[in-house]
Amino acid sequence: MTTQQLIGFFLLEEPNVQMVVAGTLLLCGMAALVGCFTFLRKRSLVGDAVSHSVLPGICLAFLLSGEKNPLILLLGALATGLLSLILMEALSRNRLTRPDTAISLMLSFFFGLGILLLTYIQHQGNASQAGLDKFIFGKAASITEADVQLFLISGIIITAAVIVLLRGFYLISFDEDYARVTGFPIKLLRLALSVLTVWTVAIGIQAVGVVLMAALLITPALAARFWTHSIGKMLIIAAIFGMISGYTGSFVSYLAPAMPTGPWIVVVATIIAVFSMLLAPDRGLYARFKIRSRNREKTLLENILKLFYQIGEKSNHLQGTILEEDLLNHRAFATEELQSGLKKLTQQGLLEHSLLDYRLTNKGLAEAQRVVRLHRLWELYLQRYLHLEPDHVHDDAEAMEHVITPEIEAQLELILGNPETDPHNTIIPPRA
C-alpha cells in the first residue's frame, strides 16, 4: 500500500471507495440509533434473532420474483423479520415459553429455514442467484450507488422517526406501565420500533451479513451507555461510535483487500466498547475502581477517628494522646492499613503526631464527633423503627454511617426528635 493510495482513500478519489465509505457510515449510524432502544429495553438477543430471521424472507422474495431486485428482497426480509418478532412476543406473552427460549427458538427455526431455502435456490441453477449467499456474512465492498441511496433515504426516515417518537420510545424502554397510564399508544410505539429495527437489519445484512448485524445494533449502544446518563446524548454518541467503526472498518479493508469489511467494522466497534468499559468516566471500570478505593479509604479514616473518640470518651479526655498499640488493641486493623490511615489523617491536619503517640486536633475532634454522632443516630433509628435489639444494631450502623448525607442526618434528627442517647444509653455527641 503506497502513500498515494492512502491519500486517495482519505480524499475518496475512487468511486468504489466513495460508495463503501458512504454506505457504511450511513448504515452504522442508523443501526446505532435503533440499537440504543433495543439495548435499553434489555432485548439485545432479539436483534440477533431478527437478523437471522430475515434470511428466509430474502430467499422467498427471490423465489417469487426470480430476480435480485433489492427492494423486493428487502420487503421479504421485512416480512419474516416482523413475523419472528410477533411470534417471539406471542410465545412470551402467553407464557408458552420463557422469553430467552422464544428468542432461541425463532433464531434457530428461521435461520435454519433460510439455509434450506438458500441451498434449494443454489441447486436450481438460476444464474440470478449468484451472490445471494453474501447475505449470510455480508460484503460491504459490493455496496453500489443504489444501495447508498437506499441507506440515505432509510437513514433520514429512521432519524426523523426517532426524533418525533423519542419520548414514547424512551418511556417504553424504561417504564411501559407509566407510558400506558399516561396515555401513550404502547402497541403502536412497539410496532414502530419493531419496524425500524427490522428495516435496519434488512438493509444492513448486505454489508455485514446476518451473523454480525446484531453486533452492529448493540455494540455502539453499549459503548455509548458508559459515557452518559442522557438518552439524547447516548443516541448521538452511539451514532458517532457506529460511524467511526464503519469508517475504520472500511479503511482496514482497503489496506488489506483480503480482509472483509463487515467483520472489521464489528471488531472496531467492539474495541471502542471495551475501551469505554475500561476508561469511561463515572461508569468505566477504572472510574469505579477509583470510587471504591476512595470509599475504602474514607471508611478507614472515619473508623480510626471514631476509635480515637471512643477511647478518649472512656478516659474523659477526648484529645488525649493514644498509642498505635492502643488502637490495635481496641479494633482489628491490619497494621499497615492503620499506619497508612494515621499518616493520611496527620497530613490532613486531623491528627497530631509526636514520637509514638497521636492525638486529635480540634479539626479532627469535630470530624470524629460527626462520625460517632451519625453512628449512634442510626443505631437509635434501627432500634426504634425497625425494632432491632440494641445488641444487633452496631454492624448495620457501622455500614451506614459512612454514606449518610447531611440531608439524611437532618431527617434522622427530625424523626428521632434530637435524641441525647443511643440504644446503649451512650451520649450522642452534639453537632460540632
180 Cβ contact partners less than 8 Å away, ≥ 6 residues apart: 186
Q: Which amino acid is at 117?
A: L
Burial degree of 349 (CB within 10 A; 0-12, 13-18, 19+): exposed
Question: What pLDDT score does 409 carry?
Answer: 84
- What tens digit of pLDDT does each residue of 265-280 get? 889 999 999 999 999 9
- Output 100 or 190, whichever has higher pLDDT: 190
DSSP for 216-245, written as a single string = HHHHHHHHHHTT-S-HHHHHHHHHHHHHHH
Cα of 369 vs its chain's centroid, Å: 40
- β-partners of residue 358 are 322, 353
Average pLDDT of every residue of the chain: 86
Do 97 and 119 contact (CB within 8 A), yes or no?
A: no
Nearest by Cα to 90 from 101, 78, 82, 102: 102
- The three cell numbers of residue 421 are 442517647
Question: What pLDDT score does 133 carry?
Answer: 62
Tell me the percentage of the chain whose pLDDT exceeds 70.
Answer: 93
The residue behind cell 460517632 is 372
- The three cell numbers of residue 52 are 437471522
pLDDT band at 305 (very low <50, low <70, confident <90, very high): very high
How confident is the model over 233-253, as a mean pLDDT?
Answer: 92
Distance, CA of 74 to CA of 151 (rounded, Å): 12
Tell me the percentage of the chain whose pLDDT exceeds 90.
Answer: 33
**245 pLDDT exceeds 90?**
yes
How confident is the model over 337-363, as a mean pLDDT?
Answer: 91
**219 pLDDT exceeds 90?**
yes
Buried b (16+ CB within 10 A) or exposed e, 36-64: bbbbbbebbbbbbbbbbbbbbbbbbbbee
Question: What pLDDT score does 212 carry?
Answer: 76
Domains and CATH numbers, the chain: 12-283 (1.10.3470.10), 289-416 (1.10.10.10)
Nearest by Cα to 140 from 208, 242, 199: 208
- The three cell numbers of residue 381 are 433509628
**5 pLDDT exceeds 80?**
no
Nearest by Cα to 193 from 89, 122, 266, 289: 89
Give the end-to-end CA distance of the chain in Å, rounded to a whole number.
72
pLDDT band at 129 (very low <50, low <70, confident <90, very high): low
pTM: 0.79
- What tens digit of pLDDT does each residue of 247-256 get? 998 888 878 7
**209 pLDDT exceeds 80?**
no
How confident is the model over 117-144, as a mean pLDDT?
Answer: 70
Please tell me which of 69-83, 162-176, 206-220 the model is most confident about, judged by mean pLDDT. 162-176
Please tell me which of 53-67, 117-131, 333-347 the model is most confident about, judged by mean pLDDT. 333-347
- What tens digit of pLDDT does each residue of 388-425 get? 888 888 888 888 888 888 888 888 888 888 888 888 88
Cα of 169 vs its chain's centroid, Å: 17
- Strands of 261-342 (E only): list them: 322-323
276 Cβ contact partners less than 8 Å away, ≥ 6 residues apart: 222, 223, 224, 226, 227, 284
Ranges of H-type helices in 41-98? 44-65, 70-93
Question: What pLDDT score does 73 carry?
Answer: 82
- What tens digit of pLDDT does each residue of 145-181 get? 888 888 899 999 999 999 999 999 999 888 888 888 8
**2 pLDDT exceeds 80?**
no
Do 27 and 143 contact (CB within 8 A), yes or no?
A: no
Distance, CA of 296 to CA of 393 (rounded, Å): 21
Do 43 and 190 contact (CB within 8 A), yes or no?
A: no
Q: Which amino acid is at 106?
A: M
Cα of 68 vs its chain's centroid, Å: 39
- β-partners of residue 352 are 359
Distance, CA of 198 to CA of 53 (rounded, Å): 9
pLDDT band at 352 (very low <50, low <70, confident <90, very high): very high
Question: What pLDDT score does 19 carry?
Answer: 86
